[in-house]
Structure 1
């Protein structure tokens, strides 16, 4: 098999026949969408030398650490000595010139550790638990006869290397199917391998921002890179905008990684500034309630409440994107009005609620939730001097501090976030937005009261 020929046969080995046929019809019909690979049978000694020279990365940071024990590692060596065929090793060539292991890390680490004489944790490696070649039990590589050492060194193992010219999205799909470890890699850990470069480094750097981690409720970086994927979510919508979003989300994010893989310094600084602007405003606006739902009360219990634990990525998307584009000073001058509008949207607009809870990756729902929130925010920030239709937060504080009793159900309002100010004479009947025409209610009671034209 030549190095730069599309190899559908290799892909077919990885996928079930019906899966391959579907992928072939959808992805392989376009000349620009292909996989290029090099299939070969290198000797362990050659792979070991490439690894020592830094040309083969067996344990990059996207992979699991070595988890095999000494018995499993020893039996791999025994299998090689018995000429038992070993599973294929899958590699990927990246733009930095290195070769990275996709599938086969544990096997290669076991071989290399035996040649070195010790495991990654510095424990000595002497053969243990052998079932057939018991005469070599307890021996290190250097203690074996020279001909046995040579048999290990020159043992051939089939490798398939996906070339850097391959289509990234198709390579991502193949990587997912090969990802069969005891703790499979998630999509961002796979991206961390497939799309290595300046952009990958940038989003990992932004994910370490202390204020960002605080908004996510994290004390340190997430070990499974969920925080990094959230930065990527923000960046994808910031660069492409929600108008150009195409499902599925996974491909939308992958395309973002491809587009900016070697991001310029100028674009890098723009993204950093937008990200930090959004994080700063959201921290002041919502603090530990960021990216969580607010629920209005019910007939039985009119008290509303904030979601305690569940993170809502749909709310994350609209808040991060909108506040990346708003002047910080204008946002700070209107924080309470913005918060009031946000909670009102979460408790009164059924279309919006559905769009953040059901089928959230559907294009129409993405557009709907972005546009509803952006309209409300723009109404508040476009003219800071315009008199609002809604009562001020300051008035709500005054009424709540004076008496936190709902004027409709006559029960105590437990939290000011659950309080709403209602027009005594309704706004659409000519009621003015003045303190004399204001009364304090539960959000639920206000939303549930009869409205007569």
Structure 2
């Protein structure tokens, strides 16, 4: 079939860019155009094309697989019932291979079924086929599926490259619209996007995030971007909204140099290694101190706090890895103390988290904690070590203020018997174990 300029997508590219000269004339060679082939291939020909590597299901700008088996099964059922399917859109690459820009999920459902990856489930019109793999179907039904023709529109390689991605963005606004990171994955394609995806597979990062595989909707990549954006600009140049801040970072570094990519990769990996060593899977969860009704503190069991992610990961990029590693216990204590004792910090990670005020405060607060721990030249430390706290807890986990048992070591604080500000020394003989809440409440009373 001959290649021809697309006609039926005029409404799709109505903001087509046209370069004009000073007289307003339109140079033909500068007009952005789309050329297409329209075909009706059977499913089995596309299946074989994919097997040969001539049809790419997951180009770098595509979303990750999100269809469940019930939805895949309904698609197969529709084909058996000979229900017409929407158009599939492909894009021809310079090397002649074709990439799927709309219809990836449907084709993946077809190909996986033909490969006997899953059996049919949840069918209502053809319930007798539930539980059947492709190999279990009768021959006529197999032939029906293999020979089923679908309409494809292929954007030829002669077409303007940027328009191909603009069309992809508009095509994917239907039943399962793209989230912010999936849109960025499409719009800001290139070396930087590929680097973010690479870093999202870092073993330490995945362990901290509790991931065994890439997150289907690319939220894991978005958090890597959050790290990178604050690494590049720092919080001092942050301006709301967060989405705009992240978009700007992707735009600015879309063609990142190899040198800058190496620096970012090293900073990210060092930060993840340190965080995993310091606090593990609780890294980006808030720690709650107790209250009058329940004095026992606890880690947030489910909710991930992006604000904590931002400050914790950024902070370690400003210090030598070995220096941080040597002081992880003291840093860990300072981190938990921020979440239990600093009311303004708590406010900044819970309410209006993307406001300039909240972002600035929480980054400043964490910066000061790290500076106090890592830059201290005092011969008399302010805080007791975690080793001493663990020893006191193992010996007698009883709060010396309320006389009740402390449930876990993270909920314990080591307090000065003779207060530090009155000259008390930070030595084991002047240490007592308390609940974080009891120690916090006592300090409030002392101030009052």
Question: Is the TM-score greater than 0.5?
Answer: yes
Tell me which residue corresponds to 1:263: 256
CA distance in 1, matches of 2:427, 2:105: 71
CA distance in 1, matches of 2:355, 2:32: 34
Pairwise CA distance, 1:194: 2.9
Tell me which residue corresponds to 2:174: 180
CA distance in 1, matches of 2:423, 2:164: 62
Change (3 A) 1:349 1:99: farther
Write out per-residue CA displacement over residues 183-222 of structure 1, whole angstroms, 9 at most, x where no aligned residue.
Answer: 4443333333333322222222222222221111223333
CA distance in 2, matches of 1:279, 1:157: 44
Tell me which residue corresponds to 2:119: none
CA distance in 2, matches of 1:329, 1:95: 47
* Correspondence list, 1:279-294, <5 A: 279-294=272-287
2:32 corresponds to 1:43: no
CA distance in 2, matches of 1:93, 1:385: 66
CA distance in 1, matches of 2:235, 2:255: 23
Tell me which residue corresponds to 2:114: 122
Q: Identify the match of residue 412 of structure 1 among 405, 412, 433.
A: 405
Unaligned runs of 5+ in 2: 16-30, 117-124, 126-139
Change (3 A) 1:403 1:120: closer
Q: Identify the match of residue 267 of structure 2 among 274, 296, 313.
A: 274
Tell me which residue corresponds to 1:69: 75
Unaligned runs of 5+ in 1: 14-35, 80-85, 130-136
Contact 1:295 1:306 in 2 (8 A): yes
Change (3 A) 1:196 1:423: same
Change (3 A) 1:91 1:163: farther
SS at match of 2:446: coil
Write out per-residue CA displacement over residues 208-238 of structure 1, whole angstroms, 9 at most, x where no aligned residue.
Answer: 2222211112233333333222222211211
Pairwise CA distance, 1:448: 0.7
Tell me which residue corresponds to 2:368: 375
TM-score relative to the length of structure 2 = 0.71
* Correspondence list, 1:250-329, <5 A: 250-329=243-322
Change (3 A) 1:342 1:97: farther
SS at match of 1:422: strand
Pairwise CA distance, 1:348: 0.8
Write out per-residue CA displacement over residues 236-294 of structure 1, whole angstroms, 9 at most, x where no aligned residue.
Answer: 21112122223332332233222222322111111111011101111111123211111
Contact 1:94 1:163 in 2 (8 A): no
Write out per-residue CA displacement over residues 294-318 of structure 1, whole angstroms, 9 at most, x where no aligned residue.
Answer: 1111223212112223221111111
2:225 corresponds to 1:224: no
* Correspondence list, 1:349-428, <5 A: 349-383=342-376, 386-428=379-421
